[in-house]
Amino acid sequence: MTLHLRSFLAALAAGGLGLTGCATLPQTETAALCRAEGVSLHADFPTAGQHRCLARSAETVIVRTDPEVAIAPRINPSPWFAFDIEREEAGPIEIVLDYGGYRHRYEPRIRRPGEDWQRVDPAHIEVLEEENRARLTLDLPAGRTRISAQPTYTPADVAGWSAAFADAHGFTAIEYGRSLEGRPLEALVAGPADAGRLLVALTRQHPPEYSGGRAFEAFATVIGEAHDGGALAGYRLVLVPLANPDGMANGHWRLNSGGMDLNRDWFEAEQPEIAALQALIRREAEGRDVEVFLDFHSTRRTLVYNPPAGIAARGDALMAEMAARFEAALDPQPEWIEGHNAEAGTSKAWALQTFGVAGLTVELADEASVEESHAVGRLAAEAVLAVAADH
């Protein structure tokens, strides 16, 4: 340690520099994850992945994707990546994504400065070795280009969507709790206080599941329009657009910041995100029948996890209606998978056990386009409306 640094630290410890913490220390340029002549990599934005990297040159970088800290054994690994590459000059680059012990899952998206998201052309993606690494061969412009497993969608983006939705359809946004890191947990609520029926729809328990979140938005929009038109007068409506804000902000693969998969926590409700959400749903369910309970997710292909028909007090008609509408409009057909993880503390299992409703997990394909995701969400909502009209 140099004498200069020693005396600086001694002065700091004595309060002699008049500093009130690190915030006033001189800032150099934004910390890069790694850099080489003409290139730097950054993960300084919400949803950025947990990365380490090595820049060999402006033409070759290696980005390691690190999983979040987990308490329980890993389920369904989702090697998430989201980072910015800043180049001083335009030119070719080779980016190696190193997944460690995990396998390539997401087809990379790219957003060049001033442009919208695009898929990386599959001709420029090579999955290497035992699928533990992938090499992207790209031409990048000067400036910051974002590479991500899915289009990045932040808690602020969800809040913006929620505010616009609430405004357009006369829903009230309520804060039903706080996440472990103190982020607001928000629900959109509407419908008369004396309504006898309750609809609950939620999404984004799992941070990377972009297509499921977009399906939820289309579902909500159809429900919101029906509410405007008086078609759901007997219903109280509870929509939860972001169940796991910490996981989304921190670029997690699957978990909240308590190291838990929230969709395995519904029996224990150990995590504040689930405890608060359950308290909200129980409050809203008081004196009402829970008729609809939907949880939107994403996985490798579009499918529905459902309880077997005949075991729930309510929900069989909705399952039949939704299956018929999917069959008529979707190709390929979503599979319906009965009894999946029925004992595993999922939202749908809790809904069945607590309210006697056939909770459904609607899974969108990871690679579904926004249009495909919207179509599934709309069809699900139209099925709800058809069943509600039959009551």
Tokens representing residue 183 in the block: 């982020």
Tokens representing residue 242 in the block: 């972001």
CA atoms in the 13 A half-sphere facing the CB of 376: 30
CB closer to Zn ion, 190 vs 243: 243
Give min distance, CB of 153 to Zn ion, in A. 15
Give min distance, CB of 101 to Zn ion, in A. 21
**Stretch binding Zn ion (CB under 5 A), from 196-204, 214-222, 291-299, 344-352:** 291-299
CB closer to Zn ion, 215 vs 249: 215
Give min distance, CB of 213 to Zn ion, in A. 10
Give min distance, CB of 248 to Zn ion, in A. 12
Give min distance, CB of 72 to Zn ion, in A. 15
Give min distance, CB of 40 to Zn ion, in A. 33
Of 45-104, binders to Zn ion (CB under 5 A) are none
Of 244, 386, 215, the closest CA to residue 302 belongs to 215
Nearest-angstrom CA–CA distance, 35 and 52: 11
Question: Strands (DSSP E) along 217-280, which ranges?
Answer: 235-240
Total residues contacting Zn ion (rule CB under 5 A)?
A: 3
Give min distance, CB of 208 to Zn ion, in A. 9
**Stretch binding Zn ion (CB under 5 A), from 117-125, 148-156, 297-305, 364-372:** 297-305
Alpha helices in 105-243 (DSSP H): 155-169, 210-228
Cβ within 8 Å of residue 234, ≥6 positions away: 195, 196, 197, 388, 391
Residue owning tokens 């730097």: 40
CB closer to Zn ion, 105 vs 206: 206
* Residue 297 touching Zn ion (CB under 5 A): yes
CB closer to Zn ion, 152 vs 203: 203
Give min distance, CB of 24 to Zn ion, in A. 43
Of 338-367, binders to Zn ion (CB under 5 A) are none
CB closer to Zn ion, 67 vs 224: 67
CB closer to Zn ion, 317 vs 344: 344
Of 181-210, binders to Zn ion (CB under 5 A) are 206, 209
Of 100-129, binders to Zn ion (CB under 5 A) are none
CB closer to Zn ion, 209 vs 246: 209
Of 208-267, binders to Zn ion (CB under 5 A) are 209
CB closer to Zn ion, 209 vs 265: 209
Torsional sign, CA 246, 263, 372, 228 = negative
DSSP run (H or E) holding 90? none
- Give the residues across from 338 on adjacent strands: 306
User: Closest CB to Zn ion belongs to which residue?
Assistant: 297
Cβ burial, residue 89 (10 Å; 0-12/13-18/19+): exposed
Cβ within 8 Å of residue 190, ≥6 positions away: 169, 170, 171, 172, 224, 227, 236, 237
Give min distance, CB of 263 to Zn ion, in A. 6
Give min distance, CB of 206 to Zn ion, in A. 4
CB closer to Zn ion, 170 vs 339: 339
**Stretch binding Zn ion (CB under 5 A), from 42-50, 131-139, 292-300, 309-317:** 292-300
The amino acid at 51: H
CB closer to Zn ion, 145 vs 203: 203
Residue 116, sorted as left (phi over 0), alpha (psi -120 to 50) or beta, turns out to be beta
Tokens representing residue 307 in the block: 């309880």
Q: Any idea what the Cα angle at residue 288 is, between residues 285 and 289, rounded to 5°? A: 95
**Stretch binding Zn ion (CB under 5 A), from 86-94, 117-125, 294-302, 333-341:** 294-302
Strand order in the sheet with 303-306: 172-178, 184-190, 235-240, 197-203, 289-299, 360-365, 303-306, 335-338
Q: Which residues bind Zn ion (CB under 5 A)?
A: 206, 209, 297
